[in-house]
Amino acid sequence: MTKQTSRISGFHKLSIPERIDKTLDFAGITAAQTRNLFLNTGNIPMELADQLIENTVGTINIPVGIATNLLIDGKDYLVPMATEESSVVAAVCNAARQCYDSGGFTTSMSSMCMIAQVQLVNVSNPHSARLQIIEHLDEIRALCNACDPVLVKLGGGFRDLEVRVIQTAQGPMVILHLIVDTRDAMGANAVNSMAETIAPHLEKWTGGKVYLRILSNLADRRLARVRCVWQLDAIGGAAVRDGMLSAYEFARTDPYRATTHNKGIMNGVTAVVLATGNDTRAIESGAHAYAAQNGWYSSLSHWEVTATGDLAGSLEMPMAVGLVGGATKLHPMAKANLEIMGIESAEQLARIIVAVGLAQNFSALKALATDGIQKGHMSLHAQNVALMAGASGAEVALIAAKLVALGTVRVDVAEQELSKLRV
Ligand code: MEV
């Protein structure tokens, strides 16, 4: 057998079917079924998939479920969520149901500003250089705004600058932050261009050398905020509330727990970010960095008791989502999902996303503080296990119910039950 090599020159120049064949040959896969899987690109045209990334061979479909019962800033929403995890959509529906009658979620946004960083090294007098840069504020504003006249026309553009001197193992570095309102764009392209434009001027003014010119995903000038009160009787009484508060205090204090607590929030957040074609990694890195803003990794949300004994939840986190550029504008499903929510601005979308994040967190804490997470998970998980065991049609529900009744949700048990069912 000849040795397979991953050194393939010109792979990107092949057609998609040719790339699929090359890949399957490499893996020794001959099944026509597998080839057809790659050729079926679902609700995204093959040509578009090919334009969005490099070396495209196919797509992977993720279920989209609708979160119901969401009342956000007085308006009802049906929110599409893209996730492969069972229980995530149901958790949002349940949490939103339990606060619907008392008014739902109230949201706000800090601003729509993104930060671009420019790294300046080899500056002999960094603190003077810092002031020299600030003295050029008007010139910097003009240079940045000239990069994107359309953005300026839409009400966005350069807003401010911030210059910091940081001490590193390679000596001091002068770090410039360009603070730019990117309106309905996530803004990476806009601010990166501005940072690149400013760079040679910084070198001229300070005598230093510029290396990096790139946005920061710690988008702490673009914070989405949500708060909500769940009434005591709607959540099942003081014991449930106190269990949830204890779970929150655990997450606030312990990074091991905070990571899982925040993962639950991101179950909701990422699902809407993905359903709308936005950059999930940008949101996730920003969220986790923001969760460590006090010097230790902690809970993104806060839970408290109101004066009347009800449970108040709140969440504030960076939310750099956009409506223009990238997959949001191109992916037919992302466009349809935005239409379902009636989204008119990136701010509106950001505010809906944090509401979903808080709802998700509420349900996880409530389940954990009462029955435990497995009870709710198991019936949905049992269906997946039944499918894995080969059940189809009406068999899926029957096998899933049997697994839950047995209290053993395992593929081998599902296979045994399936063979019994089929005799
Ligand atoms: C599971 O995907 C998410 C949870 O673990 C979140 C949490 O523990 O808060 C249930």
The CA R_g of the chain, rounded to the nearest whole Å, is 25
The pLDDT assigned to 59 comes to 97
Element of type H or E holding 281:
helix 280-291
From 364, 389, 362, select the one nearest 376 (Cα to Cα): 364
367 CA closest ligand 1 atom index: 10
CB neighbour class for 407 (10 Å; exposed up to 12, middle 13-18, buried from 19): exposed
The pLDDT assigned to 378 comes to 78
End-to-end Cα separation, the chain, in angstroms: 44
225 three-class SS? strand
Cβ of 263 closer than 6 Å to ligand 1, yes or no, is yes
Percent of the chain with pLDDT over 90: 92
3 belongs to the catalytic site: no
CA 243 centroid distance within chain: 28
The two tokens of residue 80 are: 């599409």
For atom 2 of ligand 1, which residue has the closest CA? Answer: 264
The two tokens of residue 235 are: 């959540």
Cβ of 61 closer than 6 Å to ligand 1, yes or no, is no
The pLDDT assigned to 354 comes to 98
Where is average pLDDT lowest: 123-137, 177-191, 251-265, 365-379? 365-379
Helices marked H in 179-237 = 188-206, 232-235
Mean pLDDT taken over the chain: 96
Percent of the chain with pLDDT over 70: 99
The pLDDT assigned to 2 comes to 66
Q: Which of 148, 181, 184, 279 is catalytic?
A: 279
By the 8 A CB rule, do 35 and 58 touch? no
Residue 68 Cα distances to 13, 26, 96, angstroms: 45, 45, 8
| Cα 268 to averaged position of ligand 1 atoms, centre (Å) | 11
Cβ of 260 closer than 6 Å to ligand 1, yes or no, is yes
The pLDDT assigned to 232 comes to 96
Where is average pLDDT lowest: 70-84, 261-275, 333-347, 399-413? 399-413
203 belongs to the catalytic site: no
Residue 52 Cα distances to 14, 47, 122, 337, angstroms: 16, 9, 39, 19
By the 8 A CB rule, do 170 and 121 touch? yes
State mean pLDDT over 6-24: 96
- Taking 60 as the threshold, does the pLDDT of residue 1 lie above it? no
Q: What is the 3-state secondary structure (H, E, C) of 93-148?
A: HHHHHHHHCCCCEEEEECCCEEEEEEEEECCCCHHHHHHHHHHCHHHHHHHHHHHC
| Phi, psi dihedral angles at 410 (to 5 degrees) | -135, 150
Q: pLDDT tens for residues 355-404? A: 999 999 999 999 999 988 777 677 778 888 999 999 999 999 999 999 98
Tell me which residue has tokens 């007085």: 74
State mean pLDDT over 198-205: 97
329 belongs to the catalytic site: no
Residue 190 Cα distances to 125, 160, 197, 272, 307, angstroms: 30, 15, 11, 24, 46
By the 8 A CB rule, do 241 and 232 touch? yes
279 belongs to the catalytic site: yes
pTM for the predicted model, two decimal places: 0.93
State mean pLDDT over 299-315: 98
Cβ of 376 closer than 6 Å to ligand 1, yes or no, is no
Most informative mutation of 85, 89, 245, 260 for ligand 1 (most atoms within 8 A of CB) = 260
Q: Whats the size of the chain, residue-wise?
A: 423
State mean pLDDT over 168-175: 97
Could you give the CA distance from residue 247 to residue 138 in angstroms, rounded to a whole number?
Answer: 50
From 328, 45, 310, 287, select the one nearest 185 (Cα to Cα): 328
Cβ of 268 closer than 6 Å to ligand 1, yes or no, is no
- Taking 90 as the threshold, does the pLDDT of residue 112 lie above it? yes
Please report how the helices 411-422 and 394-406 are oriented relative to each other, as an axis angle in degrees rounded to 10: 120
The pLDDT assigned to 379 comes to 77
Cβ of 364 closer than 6 Å to ligand 1, yes or no, is yes
For atom 6 of ligand 1, which residue has the closest CA? Answer: 264
Q: pLDDT tens for residues 139-169? A: 999 999 999 999 999 999 999 999 999 999 9
For atom 1 of ligand 1, which residue has the closest CA? Answer: 264
Contacts for 11 with CB less than 8 Å, ≥ 6 apart: 19, 22, 55
The pLDDT assigned to 371 comes to 83
| Phi, psi dihedral angles at 164 (to 5 degrees) | -120, 150
Residue 170: pLDDT band with limits 50, 70, 90: very high
| Cα 259 to averaged position of ligand 1 atoms, centre (Å) | 9
HSE-CB for 306 with a 13 A CA cutoff: 12
